[in-house]
Amino acid sequence: MTPPTGLGRGAAPRRTPARAGVRLAGAALTAPALAMIAVFFYVPLVTMLWMTLHDWPLLGERRFVGLRNYRDALDDVAFRNAVLFTFEYTLISTPVLLVLALALALLVRRSGHAARFFQGLYFMPVVIGLAAGSFLWLFLFQSDIGPVSHLADRLGLTSRNTDWFADKTSALLVVIAMVTWKVVGLQMLLLLAGLQAIPAEVEEAARVDGANKWQTLRHITLPLLRPTLALVLVFSVAGSLLAFDQFFIMTSGGPTNSTITAVYEIYRTSFIQFKLGLGATFSALLMIVLVLVSALQLYLLRSSEPGSEP
C-alpha cells in the first residue's frame, strides 16, 4: 500500500500555516530583546574597539594611530599602579566575602522564625545603593563628627580627629568593610540556596557513619556546594575588578593616588584628561581580564558536574 504523500519515512514535516505563525510570533517577541542587546552591547563594544585605534580627543580631529594606544597603555605607570591596586583589593576582599558569606549561610540554614529574621537582617544592606552606602560609611568614619571616631576615642584606640582616609591601609580597610557589609547578604543568599539543594539524607548518613560537624562540612557539604561556590567566587572577583563607586566617593583616589582602581583610572584618563582613545584601550584590556575570569567560571562549573574530570 502506498503511504500518503508527505507521510513516508524520511519525508520532511509539512509546514502548516499555524506552525509558521508560531515562528513569526517567536521572532517578533525576541526581536526587541535582540535589538536592545545590539544597541546597548554590540554597538558600544565595536565603537570602543574602534576608538582604541585612534587618537580620539573629546573635541578636535580624530586620527588613526593603529596599535599605539595599546603600547602606551602597557607603558603607562599610572595604569599599571591602578591595576596592581585593583588586584590587591580583589585578593583581600574576595576571601573575606566568601568566608563570611558561607559562615552566615550555615548559621541561618536552619528553619524557624529566628533563622528567617536573621536572613532578612543580613540581606537588608543589599537593597541600599552602593553610592548611598559609601556616603553613609564616609560619614561614620569622618574625623571629629563620625560616630566611629567618637567610639574609637572613648575606647582609647585613636583620637577623635583621626583621619581614617589619610592612610592607604586604613582607607582600604574601611572601604573593604563597607563593601562586605553591603554585599555579603547577597552572597549569603546564593550560598544558602546551594546548601538547601543538598539532600539532608547525605549529611545524616555521614553523621551515622561517625563523622563530626567539621568532617561533614569538609568532605560532604563543601564538595557538593562547589558549583555555587564557583558562581559566588566569580561574581565577587568580577565585582572587585570593576570597583569604582566606593573609591570615587570615599577616598577620591587618595591619599596621593594610592587607592585608584583600574576603572577609576579609565575615568580619569577619559573624562579628566580627555584621552578617549587611551581610556578605551584601558577598557579593552580590562575586558580581556574579565573574559578570562568568565572562562575560569565555565571551567569550574564544568569540572564540578558529576562524572567530569576535576
Q: First CA to last CA across the chain, in angstroms? A: 57
The count of other CB atoms within 10 Å of the CB of residue 272 is 9
> In this predicted model, what pLDDT tens digit does every residue of 56-92 receive, in sequence order?
887 888 899 989 999 999 999 999 999 999 999 999 9
Q: Which residue has the cell 553613609?
A: 136
* Grid cell digits, residue 197: 539543594
pLDDT at 11 over 60: no
Average pLDDT along the chain: 87
φ and ψ of 186, to 5 deg: -70, -45
| Rounded CA separation 170/146 (Å) | 15
Q: In this prediction, what percent of the chain has a pLDDT beyond 90?
A: 52
Total H helices, total E strands in the chain: 15, 2
The three-state secondary structure class of 302 is helix
Long-range contacts (CB closer than 8 Å, 24 or more residues apart) made by 258-266: 258/85, 258/168, 259/85, 259/168, 259/171, 259/172, 259/175, 260/78, 260/81, 260/82, 260/85, 261/82, 261/85, 261/86, 261/89, 262/79, 262/82, 262/83, 262/86, 262/286, 264/82, 265/78, 265/79, 265/82
* Grid cell digits, residue 121: 537582617
Query: Which of 137, 109, 85, 117 shows the shortest CA–CA distance to 264?
Result: 85
| Rounded CA separation 222/236 (Å) | 18
pTM of the model: 0.83
CA distances for 280 relative to 46, 49, 82, 269, angstroms: 11, 7, 15, 9
pLDDT at 2: 47
> In this predicted model, what pLDDT tens digit does every residue of 187-229 receive, in sequence order?
999 999 999 988 888 888 888 888 888 888 888 888 888 888 8
Length of the chain (residues): 310
